[in-house]
Amino acid sequence: MLANVKEMLEKAKAGGYAVGAFNTVNLETTKAIIETAQELSSPVILQMTEKTFDYAGGRAIFHLIKNISEFYANDIPIGIHLDHGKNFEVVMRAMDIGFTSVMYDGSRKEYVDNLMMTKKIVDIAHAQGVVVQAELGNVPYLGEIQTEGIDWERYMTDPDQAAQFSSETGIDTLAVAIGNAHGFFREREQPDYDRLSAVASRVDLPLVLHGSSDWHEDRISEVIKRGISCFNVDTAVRVAFVSGLREVLRDGDETDLRKIMGSAKDSAKKAVKEKILAFGSSGKA
């Protein structure tokens, strides 16, 4: 069933576990995520970016997820979320389609510009019952910065700024930068756990960790204890899907697309399962 993302994450925060927000691009990745969450009786968030809107059609992918949720997965709470909305127009487009949870990502902008645009979007979104995630600090992408000798301090969320930003904008959830990065990437040797605790003590909202694909269980449980209620996962599932695809194509002359895509989906399901078990949301549907 479709669920309110803010309520899902507040419940997770109170329950000491986190919900996975998995990027999807098509029918197969959508089914891999939803079927696995069902098998584990877990709440789950499916999210997509503007690039996926361009690939699949925003309305098409939104209604695909909505229909699967309502007609095949009424037994678990499912959130649908716009990930990394980089400008006002794409966030408005998502809300027009029917998204009830959006991220406005102004993290690459100057602080004041990020704050002003986030506030403008929150005011419009809240008037329509839509919840908003923002990012403060900067979670870098593979290829965006050099991989050696990174000055992580430049990218980190400042706890005082986070407190001011969340109270002035009225956001519902906050994505934090504590040494995490997108993609299979050389992240900071240790996440800045104390910084996360400092943010959590000043910002009483569910906190979101982007770039969770290469985070292992010990780190995951440590940051849940310190305030993370949602982990964004893209690369791990994507890589598992493509590995499954390569395997089935290499091993024979199968041409039935349902079998080929089905194998890739099964491979993606294993990656989703591993993450949901680590997040502790299994059995929390």
Tell whether the torsion through CA atoms of 67, 73, 78 and 82 is positive or negative.
negative
83 assigned to active site: yes
Is the CB of 7 or the CB of 144 nearer to Zn ion? Answer: 144
* Whether 160 contacts 122, CB under 8 Å: no
Helices (H), the chain: 5-15, 27-39, 50-56, 58-72, 88-97, 111-127, 159-169, 193-202, 217-225, 235-250, 257-279
Q: Residue written as tokens 């078990």?
A: 277
Binding mask 86-105 toward ligand 13P (x if CB under 6 A, else -) reads --------------------
Query: Is residue 235 a contact point for ligand 13P (CB under 6 A)?
Result: yes
Applying the rule CB under 6 A, the residues between 84 and 143 that interact with ligand G3H are 84
Which residue from 210, 219, 238, 269 is in contact with Zn ion, where contact means CB under 5 A? 210
Query: Is residue 267 a contact point for ligand G3H (CB under 6 A)?
Result: no
Is the CB of 41 or the CB of 221 nearer to ligand 13P? Answer: 221
Rounded CA gap, 193 and 173, in Å?
19
Is the CB of 19 or the CB of 233 nearer to ligand 13P? Answer: 233
Rounded CA gap, 224 and 215, in Å?
12
> Please, what is the minimum distance in Å from the beta carbon of residue 41 to Zn ion?
26
Tell whether the torsion through CA atoms of 242, 245, 250 and 251 is positive or negative.
positive
> Please, what is the minimum distance in Å from the beta carbon of residue 84 to Zn ion?
6
Write out the H or E segment, with its range, that includes residue 19: strand 19-23
Query: Is residue 119 a contact point for Zn ion (CB under 5 A)?
Result: no
> Please, what is the minimum distance in Å from the beta carbon of residue 141 to Zn ion?
8
Binding residues for ligand 13P (CB under 6 A): 23, 83-84, 182-183, 210-213, 232-236
Query: Residues with catalytic annotation?
Result: 83
